[in-house]
């Protein structure tokens, strides 16, 4: 079945629900990660989250009759899981020790710009497009605005500001590299189906468990003292953030144009900022809002190349 046939076969209601999950639920996970970190160490949180979500999704795939034990699928998913989920999520959780969830989401929106910058095979086409070049430059300008302000605004002062922003930039670069690996080395797209997503989560969870063991997180964590809201946030991340939203993203890639699905990068930070300010009491400054606007404009300019 062709991509066009898939698009016609998908009902408008199903597409609307999937976009709600990708836009709103994914955007909300930045806030809930911060809530969960109030009681759980970052590496242990990642291990628990992706173990539960990966096993749940793998069981659902097996129940649906998918072939979940293909060696090539497991290997490709393992590489993508390490670079995409493990490194990126570890960085996001570590960064939220130093900066707010709103700022994490704002900087994460620049990932699309990093993908364009690091996509060497596409440089010839990209550099011929004035909008794409302007978008890349604007993206860096937006991140620079946030970087300068955050240095003195982090809870621990300038040193924490440097740490938080440096971690976030590394996370964006890692996600971009993982995306390009998937595109050029592992066939790209949703060809692995939901089973591929499950193996990505399980591989990431194994890496998180290893890091948690090295840090002796289990011995240092008093599970009886973990707040209920942290457990509730973990459950939300497992069920809504990983199992539902990520599978909705994989499904949308199969029934809608990839450039259209990628618009979640425009919406997620807006949702994260609204939730962080409204429910988390996070302070959102004028400079952060300007930086967000500049980054979103840069992503829109870069996206013009793909829509043409």
pLDDT grade for 189, boundaries at 50, 70 and 90:
very low
Is a pLDDT exceeding 50 seen at residue 190? Answer: no
pLDDT of residue 148: 63
Tens of pLDDT, residue by residue over 256-276, are 766 567 667 767 877 887 888
Residue-level pLDDT at 149: 61
Q: What is the pLDDT of residues 29-70, one digit of tens each?
A: 989 998 999 999 999 999 999 999 999 999 999 998 888 888
- Give the mean pLDDT of 279-292: 74
- Region 140-162 average pLDDT: 60
**Closest alpha carbon to 289 in 28, 105, 157:** 105
Question: Is 90 exceeded by the pLDDT of residue 156?
Answer: no
Residue 159: pLDDT band with limits 50, 70, 90: low
Question: What's the pLDDT tens digit per position in 206-254?
Answer: 999 999 999 999 999 999 999 999 999 999 999 999 999 988 887 887 7
| % the chain with pLDDT above 70 | 76
- Which residue, 61, 40, 57, 60, is CA-closest to 203? 57
pLDDT given at position 51 = 97
How far from 53 is each of 3, 18, 190, CA to CA, in Å?
A: 28, 18, 18
User: At residue 8, does pLDDT exceed 60?
Assistant: no
User: Higher-confidence residue: 308 or 177?
Assistant: 177
């Amino acid at each position: 079945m062709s991509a066009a046939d898939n698009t016609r076969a998908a009902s408008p209601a199903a597409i609307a629900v999937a976009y709600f999950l990708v836009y709103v639920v994914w955007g909300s996970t930045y806030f809930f990660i911060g809530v969960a970190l109030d009681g759980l160490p970052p590496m242990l949180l990642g291990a628990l989250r992706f173990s539960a979500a990966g096993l749940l999704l793998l069981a659902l795939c097996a129940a649906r009759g998918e072939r979940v034990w293909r060696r090539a699928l497991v290997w490709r998913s393992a590489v993508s899981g390490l670079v995409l989920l493990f490194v990126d999520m570890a960085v996001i959780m570590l960064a939220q020790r130093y900066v707010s969830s709103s700022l994490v989401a704002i900087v994460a929106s620049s990932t699309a710009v990093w993908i364009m910058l690091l996509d060497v095979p596409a440089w010839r086409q990209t550099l011929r497009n004035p909008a794409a070049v302007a978008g890349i430059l604007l993206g860096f300008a937006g991140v620079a605005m946030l970087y300068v302000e955050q240095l003195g605004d982090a809870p621990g002062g300038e040193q924490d500001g440097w740490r938080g922003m440096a971690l976030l930039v590394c996370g964006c670069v890692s996600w971009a590299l993982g995306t390009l690996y998937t595109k050029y080395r592992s066939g790209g797209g949703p060809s692995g189906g939901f089973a591929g997503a499950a193996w990505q989560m399980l591989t990431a969870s194994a890496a998180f468990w290893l890091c948690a063991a090295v840090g002796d997180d289990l011995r240092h964590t008093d599970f009886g003292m973990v707040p209920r809201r942290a457990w509730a946030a973990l459950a939300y991340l497992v069920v809504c953030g990983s199992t539902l939203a990520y599978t909705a993203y994989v499904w949308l890639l199969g029934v809608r144009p990839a450039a259209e699905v990628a618009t979640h990068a425009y919406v997620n930070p807006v949702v994260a900022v609204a939730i962080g300010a409204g429910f988390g009491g996070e302070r959102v400054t004028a400079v952060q809002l300007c930086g967000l606007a500049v980054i979103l404009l840069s992503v829109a300019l870069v996206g013009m190349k793909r829509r043409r």
